[in-house]
Amino acid sequence: MKNVNEHRYTRAKERVENLKSFYQSLIAYCVVIPVLIYINHRTTDIPWAIFPAVGWGFGLFSLWMTAYGHNPIFGKDWEERKIQEFMNDKEF
C-alpha cells in the first residue's frame, strides 16, 4: 500500500510541476507577445511578430497537452502499459 501511495504522490507532484510550467509560460506569453506586437507596429510594416507568436504558441500548446494528460500519439495510458509490460517481461 505504501508503494501505491508513493507512486500516486510522485505522479501528482509531476502533474503539478507540469501545470506550473504551463501557467508560467502562458503568463510570459501574454506579456511578451503584446510587447513584440507593439514594437513591430512601431518599427516596421513587415509583420515579423507573428513568427514568435506562432512558434511560442506551438510550444505552449505542447505544454498544455502535457499538463492535462493529452497525448494524441501514444494515448492516455501508453506509458503505464509500457511500464507494466517491461515489468512483466522475464528477459528484461
pLDDT digits (tens, 9 = 90+) for 30-51: 999 999 999 999 999 999 999 9
Amino acid making up residue 28:
A
Q: What is the pLDDT of residues 41-81, one digit of tens each?
A: 999 999 999 999 999 999 999 999 888 877 767 666 777 77
Q: In this structure, which amino acid lies at residue 88?
A: N
Q: What is the pTM of this model?
A: 0.73
C-alpha cell at position 47 = 509583420
